[in-house]
């Protein structure tokens, strides 16, 4: 089951990818809606329950790129700067929405006995990058929420972890002001002399869903080929 938020212009390619997944004998149900809107997610719940057909959710992967990339200090009076509402919107979308989903699914008894919660963070959780202040705050909040989910939901068999991916060329990355400079710096820092690829992150996500990863919880796992070593 995939809940995503995409423009009509992108849907043809996205739905083609979904069909490719289904060709491998998998059942895929997708909903194109705002996963950060509590009223919409609660309205979606009956459809989710019906699509599960009595089954349970074994893994919840939280990956929302919705935030403000404004500077704190304007170059001139006409430039927009970060405001408190920008922080609130970004932190809600990229951090506290994870807690909303965990609570919603837990309260409706939709989680399996051994459920894995996986969310994505970035090196901006500790480093300061221009225009990244709101997202950086959201990533720090996400990690704090993840740790408490790991602590407080352990009694019901839930584990929670964050994956800290290295610089990866995605649509979201291309929206960051100065992303080309970040890319160049990442290539210089990475001992493997390449950027992180989506498949690298997918592999680590898959590993966290395996039975052998049951004892890993409450941590941030770096998947960056050593990029953050220097």
CB 68 within 8 A of CB 82: yes
Reported as a pLDDT band with limits 50, 70 and 90, residue 24 is confident
* Residue whose structure tokens are 């329950």: 49
Between 133-152 and 84-91, two packed helices, what is the crossing angle to 10 degrees? 40
Start-to-end Cα distance in the chain: 38
- pTM over 0.85? The answer is yes
Among the listed ranges 25-29, 111-115, 144-148, which one has the minimum average pLDDT value? Answer: 25-29
Give which of 129, 124, 131, 133 is closest to 79, Cα–Cα.
131
- pLDDT at 12 > cutoff 90: no
Q: What pLDDT is recorded for position 10?
A: 83
Domains plus CATH for the chain? 52-229 (3.40.50.720)
223 forms beta bridges with: 165
- pLDDT at 78 > cutoff 70: no
* Sequential DSSP letters for 116-167: EEEEEE-GGGTS--TT-HHHHHHHHHHHHHHHHHHHHSGGGT-EEEEEEE--
Burial class (CB in 10 A: 0-12, 13-18, 19+), 28: middle
Compute the mean pLDDT over every residue in the chain, rounded to the nearest whole number: 93
CB 187 within 8 A of CB 157: no
């Amino acid at each position: 089951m995939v809940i995503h938020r995409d423009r009509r212009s992108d849907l043809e390619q996205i739905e083609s990818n979904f069909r490719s997944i289904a060709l491998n004998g998998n059942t895929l149900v997708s909903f194109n809606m705002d996963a950060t809107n509590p009223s919409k997610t609660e309205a979606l719940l009956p459809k989710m329950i019906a699509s599960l057909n009595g089954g349970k959710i074994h893994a919840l992967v939280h990956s929302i790129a919705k935030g403000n990339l404004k500077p704190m200090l304007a170059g001139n009076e006409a430039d927009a700067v970060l405001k408190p509402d920008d922080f609130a919107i970004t932190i809600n979308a990229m951090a506290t929405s994870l807690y909303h989903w965990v609570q919603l699914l837990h309260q409706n008894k939709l989680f399996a006995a051994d459920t894995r919660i996986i969310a994505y963070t970035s090196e901006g959780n500790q480093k300061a990058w221009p225009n990244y202040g709101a997202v950086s705050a959201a990533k720090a909040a996400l990690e704090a929420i993840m740790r408490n989910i790991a602590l407080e939901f352990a009694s019901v068999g839930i584990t929670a972890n964050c994956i800290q991916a290295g610089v990866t060329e995605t649509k979201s990355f291309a929206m960051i002001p100065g992303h080309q400079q970040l890319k160049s710096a990442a290539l210089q820092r990475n001992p493997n002399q390449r950027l992180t690829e989506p498949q690298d992150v997918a592999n680590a996500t898959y590993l966290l869903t395996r039975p052998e990863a049951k004892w890993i919880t409450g941590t941030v796992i770096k998947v960056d080929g050593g990029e953050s070593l220097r």
